[in-house]
Chains A and B, each alone.
Chain A
């Protein structure tokens, strides 16, 4: 469990501690502050609530649930209970304490494995060194741990209560775009970098701004093509969960299903849009 503690440090702002731990872990380099900020402050926010909350934002019911877990253990919730470092530290602590094994299993299942495999997969795909290596090591460590844990087959509460992706034809475009940016609704993680890549793939202009603004502006330019691009993007989720099927089967199934459903939904929307306005179909080569 010391290994988990050490890995948890890397989701915190770089400090002198990092160099010593980097060496121990065999990571290729020590992250600098700018790399850290770009990854954790602007691209892949290391908070469970972002990936499990209905709004895809920090805080809210998802964070309250994590805080409730700490309260249930008789502890005062930390200021940011769903931060990755906090979760991993708490898990490592519980795992060290044999009588708390059940609590450790619950934390792992409810608040860690319910989102982290997808998150780490995106880190591996998008971040510069040493973070892919770090994400790989963390995923392997958790997977090894999960194999030894108790029964993790039940579906966690976050996922049981997750809303589905809105239909813009019924609920309006705002609700649809909000859902696309909430991983638990859309079944995928869309970072700012993903959207920039979409614009590049589709050969359309990208407006500088926060993700909702960028996504809205992309839809305004080539809705059908973008919907197809997004449908294809669901593969990131399906690929991310594939290795976890044995250790967290229900969670893996849930995310895979959600991504598959979204893909179908997006393709249906694309057809609908193309039918309504054929001119919007063909951006890109």
Chain B
């Protein structure tokens, strides 16, 4: 179609009628249709809602888009592109990207936002467009490498994929045949996908999933999980009247871009923003109220607000009555009282009475009047209160999980749950598609992942792995690190180096990574995997009140397929021999079990071609055709297959306005041979319905095997929440029964950096905050991002700095309980006095080893060569060469104008596993002093013997399942777990029963 422009100019200026119409009659007809439609409860005309994205290249032109080459300016040089969608991989938000693939060269020229991505809506942060830096990084790994000398020695040789695959497959097959299934471990940093890897591990029959969760979000997850059976918040920021963030969520964090744009929409509509953060973050600068509390006191503030709501009758009494498990609480904790709501309210009024504003002020250092003003605003939100906490305080403090639990208490009091502007359990906003691969989960339990001391941990105690190996709890034969860099990311990195260089503890370490990192230096194989435009994944995350699914794809592969080529392997279109994990896993699985005799291979055979290898087209074609409601119909409407639709658009919204799933009435068809407990939990023998969303935790069946199907509320069976009671668990029967009755209610646990627990001269160090434009471990190769942010000075308040005689730029020595590092000071009023902060993002390094061959690592962009020495347990990084520009074909590398790339601080941090959530409690008690004459910028020193000592101190806080398990099992079966071993594996082994953590 073209707009007329040549010789077919129509008349039409005189309003000569092109239709003969009576306007009044027409208006009456439209009005009648509108009335009839609205009488049916439907929307006739939704209002102007689709006018905002007109500035994106219209999708009808994505196959052949013409624009001028910006680099050719002022010449007008046209370039023709195919616009191919994919999904950003530089944080977990999974924002949509459009790759501009040059039609002449078939190279990606740039990345912009994808307007068809429902979560990000075409908008991206700096990290999305910077994908082009990663793709064109001159230092990236292009070929499979195998170490040529001792592990960590820095010598590498190029190997073929076949050599690597055969060697690794043989190791794994030997371990499986030898029933050493707990020796295969896959350790994932940024997952960025919906469970493909878990399926592989399940198919192999290994309980080998190890995630980074315990250095990230276990604390917050625990707080939410015990309340509602879902372990993440999904706030509906866009429709909130009050937004309460315990984080710097506007600029960083999970889903921050999709959330930030909706927070700003709410702000534009008059919403108030309350931010608790020790630092004046970018988020805090937008706040109506910025509270900078003493680290760890956030829960006390939440409880003071809760108490205010309770004492002023400001809570939603009907919501509490219907949905809290108050009756279970009364029966358990107040058996002498009548189990009525009136009694509960009477008790509730006393439970938090001690949490006055004055108490919270004393704990937090914020005056009571300010706290009261915040509480009044929260109270005024009604059900339109959206709250969020993910890392921050929950990840910083011992007992930090109660920060999330007390934060949710505010939503639960106000009834701001699954309503517009409120808090939704995350799974309801997340598509959980069926896939063609459905292996049974393993019959084994890996003690190295979830040991008995941590029965309630929100996922694997992965950051303790070096200590578990050092204690002889097991060994690892084959260890995959995948987009994960524990040496640099985790606390106590020197202990990781000790573990990874000991081939008795780790038989073979395979680093699956697109770029060099501190952990890959200590690998046996480094296998190059693609960036976001070079790999397949599906993603779906909770970002607004809706459900959507996104597709990550190798864009050059997709472009060449559009041009009619047949591509059977992503390596055919990726740079060098860079691969993607999913094809790698399929191929590796076939080599582990080439004849199917282990019963593994058949899981990765094509659904419609038994005996033939599954391809990624088979896999995703099946998922999109069978696992995503509505997608086949939407695709058919455009004459596309579901896979073609997703390859073309990159995203699909399954539904919008999910609403109150807990209130849904369970239909009769789902109720068969029903049993109802005294507390109203409803069990049924009817199979669970298939739903598009993630149902969350898995409440146990009743004693006769019926599944938990709903909960009786005022005589009606409703779906409820995926908790043991089916209700919101104000009182957690799980915490009470599994050894922590004192924390069964939302409460305040004093942090390990509470003033009472600090030694003289110690101050808290906040180490968890991110820089908005950096990627955890893959940012060092993104030149645009590095120009924006490249160092991590120590934030210190002027009053504090004066006491220590420190000025901006001075070198300071930060002493933790097990080491120290030397960094520059930044004196700023943007932090609470008496607290210091340092971002973890910076200080990337490479051991200054003798290297060999063209494939030896030589990252130059944001990495320093260092000496890595140790004398027994005393380790040191030092002797850093000044950062310098590299000499490559990339002219930008010669334009690097900065030399300071920050200091790696995490290696000086001992592990602090929270005894309940398992979260590493990141905040450190440190001493700050001016650097001495022997100190040099970037020095990092730690004592691993002292690290082990502190590990044991924290381990002694645990209450082992062997002592507290009420069921004889290792862990409450209903709690979420990435892999769910078969039930018999949950039983505590006889030889472990009664063993305490001190014994182990």
Residues of A within 8 A of B (CB): 1-3, 5-6, 8-9, 11-13, 15, 17, 20-21, 24-26, 32-35, 37-45, 58, 76, 78-80, 83, 85-86, 89, 121, 124-128, 132-133, 135-137, 139-141, 143-144, 191-194, 196-197, 200, 207-209, 213, 236, 239-240, 242-243
Contacts and interface: CB of A to CB of B under 8 A. Distances in A.
A171 to B, nearest CB: 20
Contact of A193 (B3, B21, B48, B76): B3
Nearest to B31: A2
B995 interface: no
17 contacts: A2-B31, A2-B34, A17-B46, A26-B26, A37-B58, A38-B2, A79-B51, A124-B12, A124-B18, A126-B3, A128-B1, A135-B12, A141-B27, A193-B5, A194-B5, A197-B5, A236-B13
A38 B10 contact: no
Interface stretch (B59-67, B384-392, B745-753): B59-67
B177 interface: no
Contact of B15 (A17, A35, A79, A140): A140
A281 B876 CA distance: 82
Contacts of B1: 32, 34-35, 38, 128
Contacts of A17: 45-46
Contacts of B967: none
Contacts of A25: 26, 30
B50 A12 contact: yes
B54 A2 contact: no
Nearest to A58: B55
B23 interface: yes
B346 interface: no
Contacts of A11: 51
B261 to A, nearest CB: 11
Nearest to B268: A76
Interface of B: 1-7, 9-15, 17-19, 21, 23, 26-27, 29-31, 33-34, 45-52, 54-55, 58-61, 66, 68, 76, 78, 268-270
B54 to A, nearest CB: 6
Q: Which 3 A-B pairs rank lowest in CB-CB distance, beginning with the nearest?
A: A193-B5, A124-B12, A239-B13
B23 A3 contact: yes
Contacts of A139: 15
Contacts of B12: 121, 124-125, 132, 135-136
Contacts, number: 156
B456 to A, nearest CB: 45
Given A38-B1, A136-B15, A213-B76, A125 B10 contact: yes
A69 B843 CA distance: 52
A13 B46 CA distance: 13
B75 to A, nearest CB: 11
Given A3-B26, A33-B60, A39-B3, A121 B13 contact: yes
Nearest to B14: A243
B4 A136 contact: no
Contacts of B26: 3, 24-26, 137
B260 to A, nearest CB: 15
Contacts of A45: 54
Nearest to B33: A24
B21 A137 contact: yes
Contacts of A140: 15, 17, 21, 23
Interface SS majority for chain B = loop
Contact of B58 (A41, A43, A128): A41
A40 B58 CA distance: 11
Given A2-B34, A38-B1, A126-B3, 4 more contacts: A9-B45, A76-B268, A137-B26, A193-B2
Given A12-B48, A80-B51, A86-B51, A34 B21 contact: no
A267 B10 CA distance: 25
A172 B460 CA distance: 70
Nearest to A241: B13
A233 to B, nearest CB: 11
Given A38-B3, A89-B48, A137 B19 contact: yes
A26 B51 contact: no
A79 B47 CA distance: 13
Given A41-B54, A139-B15, A208 B78 contact: yes
Interface SS majority for chain A = helix
Contact of A8 (B6, B48, B54, B59): B48
A200 B14 contact: no
A107 B19 CA distance: 28
A164 to B, nearest CB: 24
A192 B5 contact: yes
B66 to A, nearest CB: 7
Contacts of A58: 55
A37 B14 contact: no
B76 A209 contact: yes
A43 B3 contact: yes
A21 B46 CA distance: 13
B13 A133 contact: no
A11 B50 CA distance: 10
Given A6-B45, A34-B60, A124 B5 contact: no
Contacts of A192: 3, 5
Contact of B19 (A85, A133, A236): A133
A55 to B, nearest CB: 16
A29 B29 CA distance: 18
A116 B508 CA distance: 71
Nearest to B270: A76
Contacts of A208: 66, 78
Contacts of A89: 47-48
Contacts of B68: 209
Contacts of B31: 2-3
Nearest to B47: A89
A12 B270 contact: no
Contacts of A80: 51-52
B5 A26 contact: no
Contacts of B49: 12
Given A125-B13, A194-B5, A3 B48 contact: no
A143 B34 contact: no
Contacts of A132: 10, 12, 18
Contacts of A128: 1, 3-4
Nearest to A76: B269
B45 A24 contact: no
Nearest to A123: B12
A71 B49 CA distance: 20
Given A76-B270, A141-B23, A243 B15 contact: yes
Contacts of A240: 13
Nearest to B34: A2
A64 to B, nearest CB: 15
Choose among B12, B55, B61, B68 the residue with the greatest number of A CB atoms under 10 Å from its CB.
B12
B21 A26 contact: yes
Nearest to B68: A209
B750 to A, nearest CB: 43
A17 B7 CA distance: 33
A121 B269 CA distance: 36
A127 B48 contact: no
A15 B5 contact: no
Given A26-B26, A80-B51, A127-B3, A136 B9 contact: no
A12 B54 CA distance: 9
A96 B762 CA distance: 67
A78 B76 contact: no
Contact of B30 (A2, A33, A121): A2
A183 to B, nearest CB: 15
A281 to B, nearest CB: 24
Contacts of A213: 76
Contacts of B5: 126, 191-194, 196-197
A212 B1 CA distance: 23
A83 B48 contact: yes
Contacts of A3: 23, 26-27, 30-31
Given A26-B21, A191-B3, A196-B5, A86 B14 contact: no
Contacts of B269: 76
